[in-house]
């Protein structure tokens, strides 16, 4: 076995954490801050343009120490080494897990089955670069000799969500090409998109690691038919390219070999935006920005590999997540980016996290008797404040939240940005410290509502003590976005290691696919 199989609940650290939990579970954040005036500095990690403040959690230094002992007891260190060095840690599919290799800035060989994969990665990157430059500059022409104006990415899941999220997040850096995403098998989705397009100036990027996914093949076939209503077969090579590991089926579909961008089995679909799957990102923002995205991710990987666990951002975030999930019994985590560009980030993270850690069988094949992956959800602040934040502030559920904000806005509008960030900080403070009876009393008195005090008081009290992480980043650049995505990818990895599950397969989605095929045949 590449990875050890250690039941986390049988470790000494887990037993100590259970006792510690009983001591600390009712501690109020207000008191924890009053007891230690250096709490914010002690529980903040700085890295490049990032500052991660995890002080507003129900933890003490003792909690962190014990959680780190848990990570040590399950041999997280050993697992990280195996992961980055290409051991086949995706054991149920007998694959290495090397999305980190796609973005490495180093030249040290990384071996898969005894072969160094870096030369293949570099040559693929240079193919992405040349193709991007050709299309963006207009050198690549359609079948009537016109420049390309529109790109349609056809894919689903990992072949859609990452690219769609990044293209949206980096809109500020975009060139003139219009990028569209077709994913759903709902024919109205594809029809809605192609109806506005001119086949002479549109390029279709068919993205499917397996090239067997029903949604993608159905959409690609519909598009091909629509394209051939005005063009002939020979024109296909100017308008269809594919990203896949399955060259045979792509060629059978009619796409030329030179228009195929390869990927590899050691890249999981939901971690593949760094590979040729990110071709639409490179086309949207140019290869240099795509490269910056890779660089930022690689910097986070280096931090993750080298920083001691107490100063290691993905490790600390993962451990805090486990603290709430397995000890406090929280079922969900909410992701709240205070940037409208990151509106799709929570949806992207849902697949990355829930398809990875939504497992209930441990690495020995036994059913687990403890909680694993959390439910991930969220949307952009401040819109979220006017939608679901009420439940987080005053509902009955404990929902740990990640607030992601930027020091600078991209267009530099000070007034908007100050208001946005005032809300960002205001929410984390309200969640942590709440509003006491005395404060509500004073407020109502001040407003001259003395006669309503008794009636309104219980409804206006905020208990507070709601945990948050404050992830503050200087600016939304391609490089910082790369680091942010990699931060969550590595958090997911750490949690999977501690929960003793296999994070890199996804058999849970197969049964639904099989049944859909069967029912379709019957229909
Ligand atoms: O939803 C299951 C899944 O296998 C994902 O893991 C993957 O990202 C998606 O389907 C698409 O797969 P493919 O790239 O092979 O079309």
Name the closest-CA residue to atom 10, ligand 1: 157
**1 pLDDT higher than 80:** no
**517 pLDDT higher than 90:** no
Would residue 417 show up in a list of annotated catalytic residues for this protein? Answer: no
Higher pLDDT, 462 or 517: 462
Please enumerate, as own/partner, the contacts of 102-111 that have beta carbons within 8 Å and a separation of 24 or more.
102/267, 102/274, 102/275, 102/294, 103/274, 103/294, 103/295, 103/297, 103/298, 103/301, 103/482, 103/486, 104/298, 104/301, 105/295, 105/298, 110/85, 110/86, 111/85, 111/86
Q: How far is the CA of 335 from the centre of ligand 1 (A)?
A: 23
- Here the tokens at position 234 are 């020979």
What would the pLDDT profile of 217-270 be if each residue is shown by its tens digit?
999 999 999 999 999 999 999 999 999 999 999 999 999 999 999 999 999 999
Q: Residue range 7-15: average pLDDT?
A: 98
Q: Residue range 153-181: average pLDDT?
A: 98
Quickly state the pLDDT bin for 516 (edges 50, 70, 90). Answer: confident
Quickly state the pLDDT bin for 520 (edges 50, 70, 90). Answer: confident
Q: How far is the CA of 160 from the centre of ligand 1 (A)?
A: 9
Is 161 touching ligand 1 by the criterion CB < 6 Å?
A: no
Q: For residue 216, which atom of ligand 1 is closest to its CA?
A: 16
CA–CA distance, 111 with 118 (Å, rounded to integer): 9
Of 143, 172, 99, the closest CA to residue 481 belongs to 172
Q: How far is the CA of 64 from the centre of ligand 1 (A)?
A: 36
Name the closest-CA residue to atom 2, ligand 1: 509
Domain residues of the chain, as ranges?
Answer: 8-91+307-428+467-508, 113-290, 434-465
Is 272 touching ligand 1 by the criterion CB < 6 Å?
A: no
Name the closest-CA residue to atom 3, ligand 1: 157
Name the DSSP class of 469. E
- With the most atoms of ligand 1 within 8 angstroms of its CB, the residue from 506, 510, 512, 517 to mutate is 506
What would the pLDDT profile of 362-392 be if each residue is shown by its tens digit?
999 999 999 999 999 999 999 999 999 999 9
**Is the bond leading into 255 cis (omega within 30 degrees of zero)?**
no
Q: For residue 210, which atom of ligand 1 is closest to its CA?
A: 15
Mean pLDDT of the chain: 97
CA–CA distance, 101 with 122 (Å, rounded to integer): 10
What would the pLDDT profile of 415-446 be if each residue is shown by its tens digit?
999 999 999 999 999 999 999 999 999 999 99
Query: C-alpha distances in angstroms, 206 versus 13, 76, 159, 183?
Result: 48, 37, 9, 10
Q: Residue range 476-487: average pLDDT?
A: 98
Contact 370, 407 (CB under 8 A): no
Q: Residue range 170-182: average pLDDT?
A: 98
Homologous superfamily of domain range 8-91+307-428+467-508: Glucose-6-phosphate isomerase like protein; domain 1 (3.40.50.10490)
Name the closest-CA residue to atom 9, ligand 1: 157
Is 509 touching ligand 1 by the criterion CB < 6 Å?
A: yes
Percent of the chain with pLDDT over 70: 100
Is 157 touching ligand 1 by the criterion CB < 6 Å?
A: yes
Tell me how far the alpha carbon of residue 112 is from its chain's centroid: 26
CA–CA distance, 78 with 24 (Å, rounded to integer): 31
Catalytic residue among 355, 417, 489, 491: 355
Q: How far is the CA of 510 from the centre of ligand 1 (A)?
A: 10
Q: Residue range 515-519: average pLDDT?
A: 87
What would the pLDDT profile of 62-117 be if each residue is shown by its tens digit?
999 999 999 999 999 999 999 999 999 999 999 999 999 999 999 999 999 999 99
Is 268 touching ligand 1 by the criterion CB < 6 Å?
A: no
Catalytic residue among 191, 306, 455, 513: 513
Q: How far is the CA of 125 from the centre of ligand 1 (A)?
A: 22
Is 220 touching ligand 1 by the criterion CB < 6 Å?
A: no
Whether 8-91+307-428+467-508 and 113-290 share one fold: the answer is yes
**6 pLDDT higher than 80:** yes
Q: Report the CATH architecture of 113-290.
A: 3-Layer(aba) Sandwich (3.40)
Is 224 touching ligand 1 by the criterion CB < 6 Å?
A: no
Is 269 touching ligand 1 by the criterion CB < 6 Å?
A: yes
* CA angle centred on 100, ends 98 and 102, rounded to 5°: 85
Would residue 386 show up in a list of annotated catalytic residues for this protein? Answer: yes
Catalytic residue among 176, 234, 367, 386: 386
What would the pLDDT profile of 333-348 be if each residue is shown by its tens digit?
999 999 999 999 999 9
Quickly state the pLDDT bin for 514 (edges 50, 70, 90). Answer: confident
């Amino acid at each position: 076995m590449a990875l050890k199989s250690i039941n986390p609940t049988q470790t000494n650290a887990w037993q100590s954490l259970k006792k510690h939990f009983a001591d600390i579970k009712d501690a109020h954040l207000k008191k924890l801050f009053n007891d230690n005036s250096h709490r914010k500095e002690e529980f903040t990690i700085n890295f490049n343009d990032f500052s991660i403040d995890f002080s507003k959690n129900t933890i003490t230094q003792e909690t962190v120490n014990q959680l780190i002992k848990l990570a040590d007891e399950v041999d997280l260190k050993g697992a990280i080494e195996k992961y980055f060095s290409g051991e086949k840690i995706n054991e149920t599919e007998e694959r290495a897990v090397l999305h980190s290799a796609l973005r490495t800035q180093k030249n040290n060989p990384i071996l898969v089955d005894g072969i160094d994969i870096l030369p293949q990665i570099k040559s693929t990157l240079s193919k992405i670069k040349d193709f991007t430059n050709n299309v963006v500059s207009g050198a690549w022409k359609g079948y009537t000799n016109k420049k390309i104006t529109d790109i349609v990415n056809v894919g689903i899941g990992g072949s859609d969500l990452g690219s769609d999220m990044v293209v949206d997040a980096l809109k500020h850096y975009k060139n003139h090409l219009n990028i569209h995403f077709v994913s759903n098998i709902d024919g109205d989705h594809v029809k809605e998109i192609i109806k506005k397009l001119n086949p002479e100036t549109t390029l279709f990027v068919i993205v499917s690691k397996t090239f067997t996914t029903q949604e993608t093949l159905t959409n690609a076939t519909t598009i091909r038919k629509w394209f051939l209503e005005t063009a002939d077969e020979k024109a296909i090579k100017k308008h269809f390219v594919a990203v896949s590991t399955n060259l045979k089926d792509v060629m059978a579909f009619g796409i030329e070999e030179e228009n195929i961008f390869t990927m590899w089995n050691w890249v999981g679909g939901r971690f593949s935006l760094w590979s040729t799957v990110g071709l639409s990102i490179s086309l949207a923002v140019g290869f240099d920005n795509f490269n910056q995205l890779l660089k930022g991710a690689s910097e986070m990987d280096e931090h993750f590999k080298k920083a001691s666990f107490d100063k290691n951002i993905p490790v600390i975030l993962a451990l805090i997540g486990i603290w709430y999930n397995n000890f406090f019994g929280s079922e969900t985590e909410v992701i709240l980016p205070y940037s409208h560009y990151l509106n799709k980030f929570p949806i992207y993270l849902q697949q990355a996290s829930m398809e990875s850690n939504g497992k209930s069988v441990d690495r020995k094949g036994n059913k687990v008797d403890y909680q694993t992956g959390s439910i991930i959800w969220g949307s952009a602040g401040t819109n979220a404040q006017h939608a679901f934040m009420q439940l987080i502030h005053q509902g009955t559920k404990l929902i740990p939240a990640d607030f992601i904000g930027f020091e600078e806005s991209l267009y530099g509008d000070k007034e908007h940005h100050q208001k946005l960030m005032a809300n960002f900080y205001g929410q984390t403070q309200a969640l942590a410290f709440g509003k006491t009876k005395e404060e509500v009393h004073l407020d109502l008195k001040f407003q001259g509502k003395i006669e309503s005090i008794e009636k309104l008081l219980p409804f206006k009290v905020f208990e507070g003590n709601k945990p948050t992480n404050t992830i503050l980043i200087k600016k939304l650049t391609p490089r910082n976005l790369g680091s942010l995505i990699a931060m969550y990818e590595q958090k997911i990895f750490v949690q999977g290691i501690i929960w003793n599950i296999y994070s890199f397969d996804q058999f849970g989605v197969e049964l639904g696919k099989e049944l859909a095929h069967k029912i379709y045949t019957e229909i």
